[in-house]
Structures are given as C-alpha cells and as structure tokens.
C-alpha cells in the first residue's frame, strides 16, 4: 500500500488558487524531493496533506486511510522560521513536544519519553545541547532540533519543509545521513527542496510542482530538462543554468 | 497607620479582599505569560477597555450593582470587541494593531458616554460604577470577592492542567495542529482565559490598567528564566505580590485607587528585573559587552603586534618597537581603548614600552600572540575548506587548537600551503630557526 496518496487536491487562499487538482502517490521507503519555483505551492502541499490549511477539494490518504486516523504514523518538520526561537524553552523540551501526540491530554512526559527524546537528540548530534536555550543555538542546530522532534514522533512517513535552508555544511551532512538512515529503516520521507544542484544527489524520487503536478517518478527519469522547463517555464536565464546542471550530472 | 494595619488583619472583609487580589494576581501572571508569548498582549488591553460599555449596560438593565451581572456584561462586550477585531483583520486590509486601536477606543468611548449618563441619573452617584475606571478593591464586598476568587481558582486550574497543550500551542501552533491538537478550540480557550482574568480584575484594577496586570508580571518573569514552567510560576508570584501590595496600600491610604498602586508595584518589579536579572538583565548585558569588547581589543592588539614582529623578522631587521599610531592604523580601535589595553597587557608582562608611545611584545607576550595568530589563521583556512571538515562540526566559537591531532596537522599543512603560517615562534618551539634579534632566546644579540 502506498504511504501517501493525494487525490485531486485543490487549495486556494482568498479565492486565489495555490494548488490545482494535484494527484499523486509515492512508494514506500523512498526519499522524495518536492521541487518547484517560489510560490509553486510546495509548502502548501505539505500543509494541505497534514490538514494545516483547508483543502478546497480532494482527499489525502496515509497508508490507505484518511490522515486524521493515521496521525501517529506521520512526522512533520515545519520551516525553521515558523516559530519564535526566543521562546523560554530548551532543546530537549522542544524534542519532547514530538512525544505529545503519544502522551495524550493532561499527562506529563514520562521518564521513557525523556530518554527517547534524548536518543533522538543524539541521532542528530545535539545531545550536548539538550539543556541549551533554543535562542542560543545556531540556525543549523535549530534545524536539527526540529529534526529530532520529528524523530521523536516515531513516525513512518515524514514531511519536511525546506530543512536545508540556511544551514551550515555540518547540518546539511547530518540531515542527509539521517534521511538515508530513515530510508534504510523503510520509512518514507518527503522533502520540500529548492536547490536544483543537489536534487540528483539527495533524492530517489522527485515530484515537480508548479501549482499543478508536472511530473513524479524516479529521479533519473523525471528530473529531465524537459520537465524542468515545464516546471520553471519562462524563466530563461534560470533555464540556462538548469541545462548546465542536467548535463553536468 | 499601625491601627489601620491591625484593622486590616482582623477585618474579615479586608482579609477576603486580600485573598481575592492575591488570587487575581496569580491568575493574571499565569494567563498573562501565555498571552505575552503568543503576542496577544494588546488583545487583553482591547478586552479590558471594551468591557466598560458591557458593565454600564449590565447596570442599566439590572438597575443595581451586581458583580455577576457585571462579569457577564464585561465578558460579552469584551468578546464582541475581539470578534470585531478578528473580522476586521480577516475581511479588510486593516492590520491587527490598527484594528485593535480602533475597536478599543470606540468601545471605551461608548463606555464613557454610558458612564456619564448613569452618573447623571439620581441613583447613579452611589453606584460606585466609577470604580471600574481605575479600580477600587476596598469597594468589593464579601460575595463579590468570593466570586472573583472562585473564577480565579478555576482559571488557574485550567492553565495548570492544560499547561503542556497551551505550551505547544503557543510555541508552534502548526505542529500542534499537525499532531492533532484542536488548535482552534485551544485558541478559543486561551482567549476565554484572558477574558476571564480581565473581567474578574476590572473592579480591583480597573479597565484602563487591567492589561498591564496581565502583561507586566509576565514580562518581568521572562527576565529571570529560560523555562516556561518557571516563568509561569514567577509571573504568578509577582502578580500575587503586586495584588496584595496594591490592596494593602490603597486600603490604608484614603481615596487611593487600587489599580494604579498594583501596577506601580508590578512595574517596579519589572524595572528591577530588566536591570538586574542574572542573564538577560541590562546590567549583566552591559558588563558582558564591555568585557567582550576589552577581550577583542586585547586579542587584536596582540595580533597586530605579532604581525608587525613577523614583518620585521621577514625583512631581517629589528626596529625600536612599534608606534601606537601604527597599531591604530591597522585596527579600528580608539586611542583610549588602545592605551587601556596596552597598560593592562603591560601589567600582564605581555608587552613592554620601548620608547615614547612605542611598544613591543615580551617573550611571554610573543607566546600568547603566537597562539592567537595561529588560531585566527587556522580559522581562515578552515573556512576556506569548510566542506572537507563538516563532520567535525566546527563552530565559529570553538578553539581550533582543541581539534583532534590529525585534523590539526592537516589544517596546519594547509596553512603552510597558503603561506599563512605564523613565522615567529615562541622560544620553546624555535629549535633550528633563523635567529631574530628582538628575542634573546631566538637569536640573541
């Protein structure tokens, strides 16, 4: 069964369509890049899947059932800029938030939850920073805390919104090795990405998106000049660069 | 004065009023922390001001002073104002601050009109409804206080029980929604908590100052801690203390309104927090900044003297030290700062004076300067080759000399390739180097 199936999803903000009739499904155990120009609706697609923005129409299934029934199977890494990092809390506490869905209402996190959160921090190389106030972490470290929080969700499908934006080289490598580890465990990871240079290196599959789905499939077959032209259409200077990228790889 | 104090402790009504304001302060601190962090401080202000017409209408309908009617009236008109604010933001181009300002003043103005109308009526003068402007805790009677206390306790319990959920909602609402928390409902609940605090505080603190009661303890508490649970507790304590303090002072001083006194107390605590808090306080920050500036200047001066020494060494000459102006030309540093740094370096025996405004490194200073230079230049080559060393997780603030031996050797190799190796070595590392006359142990005269 497909981990994620999206059927005819349309999203509109203030009657302006952002996503139109997007349908696709992805196979299990793959790293999938969601690629497209600015304003193509990449983040919106993730949010629509997770029910964070209302869908004008369409359905989303996680392993064949509506998202609402499958929340515990899904992990989410929002954009780093979406929260106020001056919030009075430390790294461990943020990671623990990933456990909240499992802990349930009113209850406090147990010792086991804390241990699990610590192991997630360790996986992203941030164990020593567990008690650090989050505003005192670098951008890359903050991103890794968000990743650790998603790991703490102990999910099978992960959605990540631009995890590579504004991070240092060390974090980029840490994220990539983590993504590969998740893949090796048979988990499915969808990543919003906009650096075309690294697409072929990082992802098994790509979903090309520009308000509509342009193409989806294994990277070698789908990440072609023709498809990129369809996705980025009209941006000529940019296309030239893409040409170079495709040929070079 | 002492007699009045005694009477306060023995008078049952005053005791109840004190308990009421204490609980009120506690609840405002707790709820206010979330309002502050959710950046909804102004909503509290709007609600408080907007409560006035509701109170007046409740009085007009009921025809007499009644706490429960006032609470209902205040809550309804407060919520109505919030509703208008939110609709305005959603349906027009008006931004939040503007819409809050608009709604707040319209409601408050309407409230004042109603208030004046009531006061002109015959029974209006004794209504005590004026107390709602600035707050008068002494005018509360037992039954009112019990109602206020009960609501305050309820608000406190809700906040404590839902602490985890409210925390996630405040920090990252999207994530909260993603894991299935009913964020709409929780937002509504938080709004209701804010309305609740505002409404029960109106008679003691007054419509004008109630939002300060919500925000001041919370912002003061923020200075003392980096943990939300601690912040909430500290804010509650500050709120409770201010409530009690203001009430005591206003009951002992005739005609003094309670609200302003409570807020003055809270504000004094806030000012103390802002200046003296151990980590975020202005004082500590200023000290830290000046210390950092001194340290940076110290390293820069040592590094500069090292660069000069190195140039001299390369040109096979030994001059009569380096002039202060020369240092200032190379580094952006003020004369007074430079002199201060040089004097303290002299005290540390790292530099010595060789003439009027002329300085050079001592041997001890050379060792220190060598290590500073080495570190800086290693950082340069590291940054040029960052990708190769990504797995070491090097940060800008790290001491590169603490790196594993292998990497350090590699980086030093690169340093040599780029010709950035510091050339003048400290005496104990100088085996077999070309002599240099400035330092006896390196060459000797």
CB pairs under 8 A between A and B: 88
Which residues in chain B touch residue A138, judged by CB atoms under 8 angstroms apart? 395
- The two beta strands, A157-161 and A74-77, are parallel
The reported pLDDT for the residue numbered B404 is 76
CB spacing of B174 vs A133 below 8 angstroms:
no
- Residues B28-60 as b/e (b if ≥16 CB within 10 A, e otherwise) read bbbbbbbbbbbebbbbbbbbbbbbbbbbbbbbe
Identity of the residue in B161, B168, B390 whose CB atom sits nearest the CB atom of A106: B161
- Residues B104-118 as b/e (b if ≥16 CB within 10 A, e otherwise) read beebbebbeebbeeb
Interchain contact A133–B (C-beta under 8 A): yes
Min Cα distance A59 → chain B (Å) is 16
Strand order in the sheet with A212-218: A74-77, A157-161, A188-193, A31-35, A205-210, A212-218
CATH class in words for B285-440: mainly alpha
pLDDT above 50 for A4: yes
Backbone angles phi, psi at A71, to 5 degrees: -50, -40
Min Cα distance A78 → chain B (Å) is 7
- Intervals of CATH 1.10.3470.10 along chain B: 2-277
Identity of the residue in B37, B161, B168 whose CB atom sits nearest the CB atom of A100: B168
Min Cα distance B104 → chain A (Å) is 27
SS3 state of residue A58: strand
Q: So where are chain A's domains?
A: 4-85+155-247
Bridge partners, A242 (sequence order): none
Per-chain mean pLDDT for chain A: 89
Backbone angles phi, psi at A133, to 5 degrees: -65, 140
Residues in chain B: 445
Q: B330: which residues sit within 8 A by CB, 6+ positions away?
A: B304, B307
Choose the CATH number for B2-277 among 1.10.1740.10, 1.10.3470.10, 1.20.1070.10, 3.40.50.10490.
Answer: 1.10.3470.10
The rounded distance, in Å, linking the Cα atoms of B287 and B299 is 18
Mean pLDDT of A195-205: 90
- Contact between A62 and B188 under an 8 Å Cβ cutoff? The reply is no
Which residues in chain B touch residue A47, judged by CB atoms under 8 angstroms apart? 174
The reported pLDDT for the residue numbered B390 is 60
- Contact between A190 and A60 under an 8 Å Cβ cutoff? The reply is no
Mean pLDDT of A22-29: 94
pLDDT above 80 for A235: no
Fold of A4-85+155-247: Rossmann fold (3.40.50)
Mean pLDDT of A21-27: 94
Backbone angles phi, psi at A8, to 5 degrees: 50, 45
Is B331 exposed, middle or buried (CB count within 10 Å of its CB: 0-12, 13-18, 19+)?
Answer: middle
pLDDT above 50 for A40: yes
The reported pLDDT for the residue numbered B440 is 52
- Residues B252-265 as b/e (b if ≥16 CB within 10 A, e otherwise) read eeeeebbbbbbbbb
The whole-number mean pLDDT for each consecutive block of 10 residues of chain B, a chain of 445 residues, reads 61 84 95 93 90 92 84 92 90 90 95 90 68 82 88 96 95 92 92 92 89 94 95 96 91 83 94 94 94 92 91 81 89 88 92 88 88 89 76 64 79 86 74 60 42
The reported pLDDT for the residue numbered B445 is 34
The model's confidence at residue A168, banded by pLDDT at 50, 70 and 90, is confident
Is B445 exposed, middle or buried (CB count within 10 Å of its CB: 0-12, 13-18, 19+)?
Answer: exposed
Least Cα distance to B24 among B261, B244, B300 occurs for B244
pTM exceeds 0.90 for this model: no
The reported pLDDT for the residue numbered B330 is 87
**Residue ranges of the alpha helices (H) in B209-362?**
210-222, 228-252, 258-276, 282-314, 324-330, 335-347
CB spacing of B178 vs A90 below 8 angstroms:
no
Bridge partners, A4 (sequence order): A26, A62
**CA distances (Å), A124 to each of A86, A152, A173, in order?**
21, 11, 10
CB spacing of B228 vs A88 below 8 angstroms:
yes
Identity of the residue in A51, A88, A168 whose CB atom sits nearest the CB atom of B231: A88
The answer to whether the complex's ipTM is over 0.85 is yes
Q: Which two tokens stand for residue B28?
A: 């405002």
pLDDT digits (tens, 9 = 90+) for B99-138: 999 999 999 999 999 998 888 886 655 667 888 888 888 7
Least Cα distance to A154 among A106, A119, A129, A194 occurs for A119
């Amino acid at each position: 069964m497909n981990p994620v199936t999206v059927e005819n999803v349309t999203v509109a903000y203030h009657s302006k369509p952002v996503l139109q009739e997007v349908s696709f499904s992805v196979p299990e155990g793959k790293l999938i890049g969601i690629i497209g120009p600015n304003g193509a609706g990449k983040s919106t697609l993730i949010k629509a899947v997770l029910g964070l923005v209302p869908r004008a129409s369409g359905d989303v299934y996680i392993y064949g059932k509506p998202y609402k029934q499958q929340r515990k199977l899904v992990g989410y890494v929002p954009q780093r800029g979406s929260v106020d990092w001056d919030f009075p809390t430390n790294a461990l506490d943020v990671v623990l938030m990933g456990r909240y869905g499992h802990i349930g209402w009113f209850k406090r996190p147990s010792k086991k939850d804390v241990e699990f959160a610590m192991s997630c921090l360790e996986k992203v190389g941030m164990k020593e920073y567990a008690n650090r106030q989050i505003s005192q972490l670098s951008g890359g470290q903050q991103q890794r805390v968000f990743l650790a929080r998603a790991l703490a969700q102990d999910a099978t499908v992960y959605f990540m919104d631009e995890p590579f934006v504004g991070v240092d080289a060390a974090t980029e490598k840490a994220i990539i090795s983590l993504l590969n580890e998740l893949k090796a465990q048979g988990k499915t990871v969808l990543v919003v990405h906009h650096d075309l240079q690294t697409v072929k290196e990082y992802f098994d599959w790509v979903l090309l998106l520009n308000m509509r789905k342009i193409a989806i499939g294994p990277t070698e077959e789908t990440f072609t000049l023709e498809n990129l032209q369809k996705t980025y259409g009209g941006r000529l200077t940019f296309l030239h660069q893409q040409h170079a990228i495709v040929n070079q790889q | 004065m002492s007699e009045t104090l005694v009477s306060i402790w023995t008078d049952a009504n005053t005791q109840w009023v004190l308990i009421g304001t204490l609980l009120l302060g506690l609840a405002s601190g707790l709820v206010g922390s979330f309002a502050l962090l959710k950046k909804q401080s102004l909503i509290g202000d709007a609600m408080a001001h907007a409560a006035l017409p509701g109170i007046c209408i409740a009085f007009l309908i009921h025809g007499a002073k009644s706490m429960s009617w006032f609470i209902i009236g205040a809550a309804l008109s407060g919520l109505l104002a919030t509703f208008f604010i939110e609709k305005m933001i959603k349906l027009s181009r008006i931004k939040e601050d503007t819409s809050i300002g608009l709604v707040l003043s319209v409601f408050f103005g309407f409230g004042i009109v109603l208030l004046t109308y009531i006061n002109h009526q015959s029974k209006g003068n004794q209504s005590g409804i004026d107390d709602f402007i600035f707050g008068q805790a002494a005018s509360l009677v037992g039954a009112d206080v019990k109602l206020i206390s009960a609501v305050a306790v309820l608000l406190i319990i809700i906040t404590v029980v839902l602490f985890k959920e409210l925390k996630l909602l405040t920090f990252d609402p999207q994530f909260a929604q993603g894991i299935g928390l009913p964020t709409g409902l929780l937002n509504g609940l938080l709004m209701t908590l804010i309305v609740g605090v505002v409404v029960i505080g109106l008679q003691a603190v007054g419509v004008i100052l109630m939002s300060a009661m919500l925000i001041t303890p919370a912002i003061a508490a923020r200075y003392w801690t980096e943990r939300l649970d601690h912040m909430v507790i500290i804010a509650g304590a500050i709120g409770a203390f201010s409530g009690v303090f203001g009430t005591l002072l206003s009951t002992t001083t005739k005609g003094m309104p309670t609200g302003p006194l409570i807020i003055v107390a809270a504000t004094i605590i806030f000012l103390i927090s802002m200046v003296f808090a151990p980590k975020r306080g202005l004082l500590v920050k200023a000290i830290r900044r000046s210390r950092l500036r001194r340290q940076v200047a110290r390293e820069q001066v040592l590094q500069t003297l090292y660069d000069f020494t190195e140039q001299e060494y390369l040109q096979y000459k030994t001059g009569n030290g380096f002039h202060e102006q020369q240092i200032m030309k190379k580094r952006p540093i003020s004369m007074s700062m430079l002199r201060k740094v040089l004097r303290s370096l002299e005290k540390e025996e790292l530099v010595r004076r060789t003439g009027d405004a002329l300085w050079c490194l001592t041997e001890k200073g050379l060792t220190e300067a060598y290590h500073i230079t080495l570190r800086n230049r290693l950082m340069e080559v590291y940054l040029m080759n960052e990708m190769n060393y990504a797995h070491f997780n090097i940060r800008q603030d790290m001491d590169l000399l603490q790196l594993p031996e292998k990497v350090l050797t590699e980086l030093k190799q690169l340093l040599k390739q780029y010709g950035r190796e510091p050339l003048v070595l400290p005496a104990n590392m100088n085996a077999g180097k070309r002599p240099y006359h400035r330092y006896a142990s390196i060459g000797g005269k």
